[in-house]
Amino acid sequence: MGNEQMSEKLEAPIIIVNFKTYSEATGKRAVDLAKKAEKVNRETGVHIGVAPQFADLAAVTEAVDIPVFAQHVDPIKPGSYTGYVLAESVREAGAIGTLINHSERQLKLSDIDQVIRIMRENCMLSLVCANNPSISAAVASLKPDMIAIEPPELIGTGIPVSKAQPEVITGTIRLVREVNEKATILCGAGISNGEDVAAALKLGTQGVLVASSIVKAKDPYMIMTEFAEATKGRR
């Protein structure tokens, strides 16, 4: 499936599952998990994307027909960069975009800017993570396609979105919108169950970026179904 068609598949609300480097989502198990995501997508109609490890990208994109993201891309063009991640290589492996600046893989400011540009040149989507309100606003100025906001109140304290002060989310959204009207805003923290997903959307985000609550679940298919159904309340 071409990148253009994939992008069309990314209308909100969207759930993106970050596979991290979890054993439960490495190699064959990455493919298995992606197939479950695809099944939930087919059954619920809700858009679900996955972000497997680099070496698993090709097998995953071959096995499923849902949007696949890389977890990181380096700010490089083709050349002598042994051991780095080239946009063209993940695109050829079938990814339609990449996470950028995940809190576990933070980048220099100028590199975030550079990777966003490279994604654009390659007709790929950029999803930049930002772990506080002022950083979210800074990221928004760089005009990525998507921003995952991770309010520190939701990370540090373990408070779920559904129990948090609404301003924690709405304030960040407002800051982002002041400089960027178009970027899709995802909630990237505090999501453990369907109630949290519904709360995140109700507060104004267009989706969620999740990891362990799905990947480490006893029954990821069931949890993804719960998350997907929860997005429907607002439609």
Q: Which of 2, 4, 8, 78 binds a copy of itself (CB under 8 A)?
A: 78
Q: Which stretch binds a copy of itself (CB under 8 A): 134-142, 165-173, 190-198, 226-234?
A: 134-142
* 138-to-21, 143, 204 alpha-carbon distances in Å: 28, 10, 19
Residues 28, 63 contacting (CB under 8 angstroms): no
Annotation says 150 is catalytic:
yes
23 touching a copy of itself, by CB under 8 A: yes
Q: Is 191 helix (H, G, I), strand (E, B) or coil?
A: coil
Q: Which stretch binds a copy of itself (CB under 8 A): 75-83, 165-173, 181-189, 227-235?
A: 75-83
Dihedral sign computed on CA atoms, order 105, 110, 113, 118: negative
21 touching a copy of itself, by CB under 8 A: yes
- Among 47, 62, 88, 102, the active-site one is 102
The rounded distance, in Å, linking the Cα atoms of 144 and 180 is 9
185 touching a copy of itself, by CB under 8 A: no
- The CA-based angle 12-15-18, given to 5 degrees, is 140
Residue closer to a copy of itself by CB (options 46, 118) is 118
186 touching a copy of itself, by CB under 8 A: no
Annotation says 92 is catalytic:
no
Binding flags for a copy of itself, 84-123, as an x/- string (CB under 8 A)? xxx-xxx-xx-x---x-xxxxxxxxxxxxx----------
Long-range contacts of 149-154 (CB under 8 A, 24+ apart): 149/173, 149/176, 149/185, 149/186, 149/187, 149/188, 149/189, 149/205, 150/103, 150/188, 150/189, 151/189, 151/190, 154/189, 154/190
Residues that bind a copy of itself (CB under 8 A): 18, 20-23, 26-28, 51, 53-59, 70-72, 76, 78-86, 88-90, 92-93, 95, 99, 101-113, 130-132, 134-135, 137-143, 175, 178-179, 211-212
Q: Which residues are identified as catalytic?
A: 102, 150
